[in-house]
Amino acid sequence: MKNQILILFVSICFGASSCKKVELEPKNDVVTPVESTRLAVYPNWPEAFNTGTKTSYAAANVTLATGIWNLSDALLGSSSSDRKNGTQSVRIQNTGTITMNFNLSLGASSVSVAHGKFGTDANSTWGLWHSANNGSTWTQTGSTITTSSTTLSTATFTMALIGNVRFQLRKLSGGRLNVDDFSISDNDVSGPTRDDNLAMGNPSSAFANVGAPNNYLMTKTQYVLAYNNSRGTANWVSWHLSAAWKGAATRCDCFTGDASLPTGFFKAVTSNYTNSGFDRGHMCPSEDRDGSSSDNAATFLMTNIIPQAPNNNQQTWKNFEAYCQGLTTSGQEMYIVSGGYGIGGTGSLGGVTNTINNGNITVPNRVWKVVIILPDGGNDVSRVSTSTRVIAIDTPNTQTVNGLPWGSYRTTVDAIESATGYDILSNLPDAIEAALEAQVDAGPTN
């Protein structure tokens, strides 16, 4: 498929004012995972501060979901002026602290903290400290952070700490501060990792240039996609899945228009799907990104959504998603690409619907997914062989799709590439790519 993709790339650029690659600016305070980056969130984290009760600033211990913490000059706030993702967050005044009274045994590779100004208070500064001797002495980790917004943002500290470790957040100056979603990733290099979401290849040679609005590359921490402005959805979405992405964050159900789309592009909003007969169907599932609230919220951006027949989204597709998620509990990681193609699906209103929202959003005729499965490890592309399991499914976007289990829709990657014009596993050596793409998976389905 490589020659076909070159032709596709040239045809997209032809006539455009510029085909120069435009680099996407990274968002502040975001760590972008790359191959073999260690970012496995500890089980039962992040700490969302939604359990426990502490209504005074006086120093005291409080039992939270992750363990016993000491809050000094700090309380658990739930007022409308407290910045929070759930029902509560920590509110700290003066030079207050929040301190873990317990250790985590596998060290730490990163700590992420959501932070915002309480009410209309002044800006504040704060920092993160760690202790490797049960809290006897503390060392600052990373730089001092300034909180200047009333909207929660995330500060991420990277490190390479081994053995027992605990953390303390110290407010240093300014007005009252809210902190939420305290997340810690271990430093156990033998376990699963968060890796490059596009490691297996860029299926359509998408790039970030407004001159190619129908093949516009969008790189997010949680997944990568190629947006098609004429269809109002992604051509494809690509992501990595392992236990390192999994956690206890709740499903936010916060469908949101993607503000990072360029000016002049169509930006879908959730109401565009209302009464259409089609679900807001995730490509990268919510359950694949429950390691933190911010990871989960990213899956509800409308660029990750396509019009999907309810019986497909809620049954056939969901069952396949659950199967893949289950593999993460047995020491396996996956690279996944999915999308839709063709025009015209059948939703809950019956008949065939080609578009919704006055023609701005195309309803796909088929919905496909390709999954590459590997044991947890590093250097993933080099570990793919002709015996690597690859599952490709191609489902009709109809209400009768659930009459068969997802395994009945297995096909070859070659067939999906023929239908879409993509080169899905382009980063693999040609001989391995050719062998894997010609096979129909015959492995277990539950």
The type of residue at 401 is: V
Q: Do 303 and 218 touch, CB atoms closer than 8 A? A: yes
* Rounded Cα distance, 217 and 225, in Å: 6
| Residues annotated as part of the active site | 282
- Say which residue the tokens 């050719």 belong to: 434
Check the CA dihedral 355-226-416-289 and report its sign: negative
- Say which residue the tokens 């109002």 belong to: 232
- 120-124: Cβ within 8 A, 24+ apart: 120/150, 121/174, 121/175, 121/176, 121/177, 122/174, 122/175, 123/147, 123/148, 123/174, 123/175, 124/171, 124/172, 124/173, 124/174, 124/175, 124/176, 124/177
Q: Which residues contact 393 (CB under 8 A, 6 or more apart)?
A: 320, 368, 369, 406, 409, 410, 411
Which of 371, 299, 296 shows the shortest CA–CA distance to 333?
Answer: 371
Task: Dig out the tokens for 308 from the structure.
Answer: 């999907």
Q: Which residues contact 201 (CB under 8 A, 6 or more apart)?
A: 423, 424, 425, 426, 427, 428
